[in-house]
Chain A
Amino acid sequence: MKKITIVSGKGGVGKSMLASSLAVLMARGGKIVAVDCDVDAPNLGLSLGLKDADYDAWKEITTNEKAELIEGKCIGCKKCVKVCAFDAIQWENKKNKPLIDRMFCEGCGACLLVCPANALRLKEVKNAKIGTGKTRYGFPMISGQLSMGESGSGKIVFVAKKRAEEMAVKEKAEIMLIDAAAGIGCPVIASITGSDFVVAVTEPTPSAFSDLDRVLKVVEHFRIPYGLVINKHDLNKGFTEKVESFAAKKHIPVLGKIPYNRKFVDATVKMTPIVEYDSGFEGIFAGIAERITAFMT
């Protein structure tokens, strides 16, 4: 099985749009599994037209622990406040005990180690849920969703990918298509890790270009082969040429160029991948899919 991950750095340049159409096309030629690894704001399911009823029961998962005070045991030494590298523990003068801010606690356990009275413990928290949806295009999609105000997106991505791997074995899938989050931080690093090929989507704007350069540094760090897709390439032909010459200089293959068209918005509103919404766009996406497959074999 080959893992293909779609990244962009900048948000909203068309990751889920590309992922949904590639998934539909690749599923016509073989078995695939799709994973939405943007656990902060998962959109791949919506792009593939999945409604709540199309998911099996969402399972709550635990990837984090948080420190918790055991009432009555604190001796007031404040060592926990001092040791916390994440400023998650404040001292409550009125109550003469520490107050742990769950939003910033990383569950590292340093406070437990330093507490002379064993007044703290780590408690597992359910910080996300994971569900499997059956798309109308015949392939399954795994989605993770971070719970409100919780942290640990990176670890949730690993769990979602593991779940997708189990699904891929069961379904005998040849391809796992991973839709990553915006940015270059831990959830994106977790999405890229272990991939066979990365597709970086960009658009011809200075912001997207700067963010592309940053996300490629992460991809290169992991030495994973990658290619480029330029979305809305006709919005700024001059800048598109700049992106292309950057690609040529760095020997990055341009897998395809997608034009700007209002129909992409209409397809999004209809929650339908663009290749299904208007078959006129099939050629562009089929070309991208072919080039990706060629690079992996």
Chain B
Amino acid sequence: MNMMRIAITGGKGGTGKSTIATSLAAELAKNNRVLLFDADADCPNDHIILAAKMKRAETVTQMIPEWDTRKCTKCGKCSDVCKLNAIVQIKDSYPIFVPDQCNGCGACTIACPTGAIGKSSKDIGYVHEGSNAGVDIISGELIPNQMLSEFVVSAAKRLANKRRHKYDCIITDTAAGTHCDVISALMGNDLAIAVTEPTPLGAHDLELIMKLLKVLRIPSRIVLNRSDLGDPRLIERISRKYSSEIIARVPYSRSVLENYSNGIPIENEEIKRLAKWVEKKSGGAE
């Protein structure tokens, strides 16, 4: 198997991205060395589904400014250049810093004419490593109330990249949506599998992710989850429009849901077929 990078995405939340990612990883791990990269730093769940014990590999930080009041002349230039209103300057007083608003751009440190602003840092998240069911997992976790989840995703991705030589396949499980975290998680993948459901909501968000994948020039396929609940024509229409084949249809099953709610990854014929398809795909060129 040539090293293959597959992203599991979909736009809408709760369509089964993590369920498909974990079960596909577990199935592929029977014959291959698999790394599962959980790129949903807001709400990482893959390690919960796979019941993996995780340990902290890295603490992710961002730069924050630090004022030396002996050098500060209260000129207000730092506050003027800050686009996020993280620095409040009241006339004739030292600037007041709001760390929650700061994205660490460093503009204030450059703008300061007296060199009164130095660089400090704050913790914004963690990168975790662990493994279970034959699957190695790397995940990013944002500390609640921090903003820069893309930094956490990038740090976790760097670690995944560093380890890539050990694996036949890296599966990236993205967050819901189409924002910067999802974009950083998608970049560099050979293929994206969009997991969706046959509802107008699933179709609407699938179309958004299809548009994004086109911009990013990543080939895509569709997995239709809960395929028997709703109207599959909604998804078939988008599949045709974006020439993205529906490669698996996973029917709804109460036992799947119950297993899932007990934290057991699903195992069924359609996932096995999907894993075979991936193995075959990585043998040849896309």
Contacts and interface: CB of A to CB of B under 8 A. Distances in A.
A253 interface: no
B130 interface: no
A113 B147 contact: no
Chain A interface residue number, banded: 35 or more
A107 interface: yes
Interface stretch (B13-21, B28-36, B236-244): B13-21
A74 interface: no
A110 B42 contact: no
Contact of B12 (A12, A103, A148): A12
Given A110-B106, A210-B48, A221-B145, A41 B199 contact: no
A268 B229 CA distance: 10
B104 A85 contact: yes
A46 B201 contact: yes
Interface string A94-109: 0000000001101111
B133 interface: no
A40 interface: yes
B223 interface: no
A188 B263 CA distance: 26
A215 B144 CA distance: 7
B280 interface: no
A281 to B, nearest CB: 17
A260 to B, nearest CB: 8
Contacts of A11: 12-15, 176
A131 B179 CA distance: 20
A66 B196 CA distance: 33
A146 B144 contact: no
A108 B12 contact: no
Contacts of A183: 40, 42-43, 149, 175-177
A48 to B, nearest CB: 11
A83 B178 contact: no
Contacts of A186: 147, 149
A108 B103 contact: yes
Interface residues of B, number: 57
B258 interface: yes
Given A85-B63, A108-B107, A239-B261, A40 B176 contact: yes
B201 A182 contact: no
Contact of A108 (B13, B43, B83, B230): B83
A41 B204 contact: yes
Contacts of B226: 265
A189 B84 CA distance: 14
Interface stretch (A160-168, A200-208, A282-290): A200-208
Contacts of B262: 206, 236, 239
Contacts of A189: 145, 147
A81 interface: no
Interface string A1-13: 0000000011111
Interface string A204-230: 111100110011011001000000000
Contact of B201 (A16, A85, A104): A16
Nearest to A183: B42
Given A40-B178, A207-B18, A265 B145 contact: no
Contacts of B90: none
B205 A83 contact: no
A205 to B, nearest CB: 4
A269 interface: yes
A149 B215 contact: yes
Given A12-B12, A41-B176, A47-B201, 8 more contacts: A83-B110, A85-B106, A108-B106, A109-B107, A146-B178, A205-B263, A206-B45, A269-B198
14 contacts: A40-B177, A41-B12, A43-B201, A85-B105, A108-B83, A108-B107, A148-B208, A149-B183, A183-B175, A206-B262, A206-B263, A214-B42, A217-B144, A269-B200
Interface of A: 9-13, 16, 38, 40-41, 43, 46-47, 65, 83, 85-86, 103-104, 106-110, 113-114, 146, 148-149, 151, 153-154, 181-189, 203-207, 210-211, 214-215, 217-218, 221, 235-236, 239, 262, 265, 268-269, 271
List of 9 A-B pairs having minimum Cβ-Cβ separation, nearest first: A12-B14, A11-B13, A40-B177, A108-B105, A183-B42, A217-B144, A182-B13, A207-B45, A236-B261
